[in-house]
Amino acid sequence: MIEFRDIVTPVDCMITEDTTLKDALETIKQHKWNLLPVTDSNRNLKGVFTRSGLYQMILDGNQIDSPIKKYIKAEAQTIRIDTPYRQIEEIVKTSRVGTGVVLDEENKVFGLLTKTDMVMSLLKSANTLKDQLETILEHSNIGVLMTDENMKVIYANEALTKITGRTMEPISGLRIDNVFPELSIENNVHHYYEPLRSILYISTYETVNHEPGKIILFQDISEIEKMAEELQSVKKLKVTIETTLEHAYDGILMTDEQKNITMISPPMLELFNLEKSEVLNQEVEKVLPQLKLGNVFKSETAEVSDFNEMNGIKYIVHRIPIKKDGKVIGAIGKVMFRQLNEVSDLFKKLQKAENKASFFHQQLQKSELARFTWDHIFSEDPYMDKLKKSAGKAAKGRSTVLIRGESGTGKELFAHAIHNSSARCDGKFVVVNCAAIPEDLLESEFFGYEEGAFTGAKLRGKIGKFDLANGGTLFLDEIGDMSLGLQAKLLRVLQEREFYRVGGNVRVKVDVRIIAATNRSLEDMVREGEFREDLYYRLNVISLIIPPLRERVNDVEHLIYKLMKELNAMLGTSITGISSQAREALLRYEWPGNVRELRNVLERAMTFAEHGKIQVEDLPDDLVSQLASPFIGQISLAEDAELGAIKKALSQANGNKAKAARLLGISRSGLYEKIKKYQLSV
């Protein structure tokens, strides 16, 4: 809708009774106005000075510096700026005055409105309306056909082409009774047209020749029938779901995309002492905030709550997102509270047992916590993004996760992130590097030992990694380096959830989730008898394969700038970027050490960089030497690095070639040869 304010010409000058004929004449000439609003010093309207008044002053022989006071017309048509646009249209149609004075909300002079302004505005509005109407017709599912006063076709939209199978070109200009012989359009009615299985809506409009033409709308009834069938299916499904909810053993509710409750079962209402009329169509977080069902709209994954209590009744909430095309369109909350007394008793016993473990308390505090989340895994690679989402889903469960990938790809980062996004995030995250601990100590490290178990054993014994990780996660890094004997004992723990300490005869029960990682092919090791097949299948429940950095080309540049920002904070450097040649060298390198090697190279380069940016000469020589071909410009990367080193040495030696040669570790004559080779002017 056009705003009245948009078509008003603002008056940016002040005309008073003391304004001279000369000033008035110049203002009218400059702005091409037919009249000038005359105001007092507070912009209150006193009258108008028109072109007629101007001509009369000249005819009366007034001097050019004469005031216009006597020729001001006191009566003037005014319009308030807040007048509705429709009312403005009527005023313009009936007014004999060509220009009106517009006042603001405080009745001060605001501007002028001319019929020309209104006509141009209406023209613009009409064009906009025409464009909008054409867009609607072209994208409508209803077929539209228009005729002129002679009943000849002048317009048909795309939808009509689909309904009739006839395009506009063959029927344009033909009479409607020739195009559709059985069609009756005498009266403005709607009826069923069998040949096209459509309902027709016929109306009359006035053509440009002020004669009656016809507009015919074709509604394809097959589409309506299909919609009716789908509606019936939806109704049947709704009845089925409602019946299921009515007879559900546990409490169940469903919400829509706006988190409003659409269905709820009687057990749910009974548990929380609510009436159905109180909760239906209400926001779930307001009516039942204790369910925390809004969490799944953010996480987009199913989750299970801890124990909660209502009127002395223990219950657990299972939160499930409802998805369509990858988008959450609702949620299901399932409250399990029947026969949970036994589970609650076991939970209390577990708490009591943990409280009694005072001997282990101090050592438990020393165990590690997971330090990294998904935000610490930098990547723009689509596969890595998909891998992170899969790992996030795996984190919600209890299954063992096996992370595979070359050294330096970030297997431990994934393990940390999985723990932090799991239900065990408040528990311990204990790391064991199977390759770093001697084989004869691995068993005691895993399971601990009793007092006097062996010579040199500590008094009162020592708890193992499984004890430390109880209720949390145990990360077994380099699992492929574990001995076959220890593999058998690990398999027993995974199967039975219990173990014996070294030198002990009491079974110790634990609740530990295992995340394992390796850079070796366990399948080959199984075939060669170096890894137990049964342990392999026990570990390989959920397998995540992290691709090497050389297969994630786009990630190299992304990681460079992410790691530079992190290293600047750690090293206290102020490196703002990287030269194009150094950047190209890093992008072309194969990175056998993956992300770990990239981080080390950047740390070394940022330490040596002297000009605010990393140059080729700041990179390790062995990295540059592997990129001898192709060339950058006219010289190779190795030569480019050598040239940079010579320039830096000459700069540090203030041009003293002997000193520069000593800095470079070459002879003076050798330096001269290189200066000649690179055509340096010194």
Q: Render pLDDT for 287-305 as a digit per residue (tens, 0 to 9).
A: 899 888 888 888 888 888 8
How far is 123 from 530, CA to CA, in rounded Å?
86
The candidate with the shortest Cα–Cα distance to 303, out of 414, 426, 421, is 421
Q: Does the pLDDT at position 109 exceed 80?
A: yes
Q: Does the pLDDT at position 33 exceed 90?
A: no
The tens digit of pLDDT for each residue in 540-556 reads 899 999 999 888 877 88
**What pLDDT, on the 0 to 100 scale, is given for residue 402?**
93
**What pLDDT, on the 0 to 100 scale, is given for residue 346?**
60
**What pLDDT, on the 0 to 100 scale, is given for residue 456?**
45
**What pLDDT, on the 0 to 100 scale, is given for residue 454?**
47
Contact present, 516 and 544 (Cβ < 8 Å)? no
CA angle 90, 91, 94 (to 5 degrees): 85
Contact present, 587 and 556 (Cβ < 8 Å)? yes
The candidate with the shortest Cα–Cα distance to 115, out of 96, 92, 84, is 92
Q: Does the pLDDT at position 150 exceed 80?
A: yes
**What pLDDT, on the 0 to 100 scale, is given for residue 207?**
80
**What pLDDT, on the 0 to 100 scale, is given for residue 459?**
46
**Burial letters 500-525, b for 16+ CB under 10 A, else e:** bbbebeeebebebbbbbbbbeebeeb
**What pLDDT, on the 0 to 100 scale, is given for residue 634?**
42
Q: Does the pLDDT at position 632 exceed 70?
A: no
**What pLDDT, on the 0 to 100 scale, is given for residue 235?**
72
**What pLDDT, on the 0 to 100 scale, is given for residue 363?**
46
How far is 351 from 354, CA to CA, in rounded Å?
5
Please state, as a whole number, how many other Cβ atoms lie within 10 Å of the Cβ of residue 195: 10
Residue 365 is encoded by which pair of tokens?
Answer: 């505090």
Residue 157 is encoded by which pair of tokens?
Answer: 């939209």
Residue 257 is encoded by which pair of tokens?
Answer: 């995309």
Confidence category of residue 161, pLDDT binned at 50, 70, 90: confident
Average pLDDT in the chain: 80
Task: Give the mean model confidence (pLDDT) for residues 25-41.
Answer: 88
Residue 475, exposed/middle/buried by CB under 10 A (0-12, 13-18, 19+)?
Answer: buried
The tens digit of pLDDT for each residue in 343-364 reads 556 656 666 666 655 444 444 4
How far is 54 from 60, CA to CA, in rounded Å?
10
Chain-centre distance of CA 663, in angstroms? Answer: 53
Confidence category of residue 172, pLDDT binned at 50, 70, 90: confident
Confidence category of residue 86, pLDDT binned at 50, 70, 90: confident
Please give the model's pTM, rounded to 2 decimal places.
0.42
Q: How much of the chain, in percent, has pLDDT values that exceed 70?
A: 83
DSSP single-letter state for residue 624: H
More confident position, 204 or 338: 204
Confidence category of residue 460, pLDDT binned at 50, 70, 90: low
Q: Does the pLDDT at position 21 exceed 60?
A: yes
**What pLDDT, on the 0 to 100 scale, is given for residue 631?**
41
How far is 274 from 284, CA to CA, in rounded Å?
13
Task: Give the mean model confidence (pLDDT) for residues 475-479.
Answer: 89
**What pLDDT, on the 0 to 100 scale, is given for residue 457?**
46
Counts for the chain of helices (H) and strands (E), in that order: 29, 26
Q: Cβ contacts of residue 146 below 8 Å, gap of 6+?
A: 153, 154, 155, 156, 205, 213, 214, 215, 216
Instruction: Give the three-class secondary structure for 310.
Output: strand
Instruction: Name 253's bridge partners.
Output: 264, 333
Task: Give the mean model confidence (pLDDT) for residues 63-70.
Answer: 90
Residue 355, exposed/middle/buried by CB under 10 A (0-12, 13-18, 19+)?
Answer: exposed
The candidate with the shortest Cα–Cα distance to 37, out of 67, 77, 64, 4, is 77
How far is 205 from 186, CA to CA, in rounded Å?
13
Express the helix, strand and coil content of the chain in percent, nearest 5 each. 45, 20, 35
DSSP single-letter state for residue 546: P
The candidate with the shortest Cα–Cα distance to 423, out of 540, 516, 319, 341, is 319
Residue 277 is encoded by which pair of tokens?
Answer: 């009329």
Residue 325, exposed/middle/buried by CB under 10 A (0-12, 13-18, 19+)?
Answer: exposed
Please state, as a whole number, how many other Cβ atoms lie within 10 Å of the Cβ of residue 390: 12
Confidence category of residue 517, pLDDT binned at 50, 70, 90: very high
DSSP single-letter state for residue 20: B
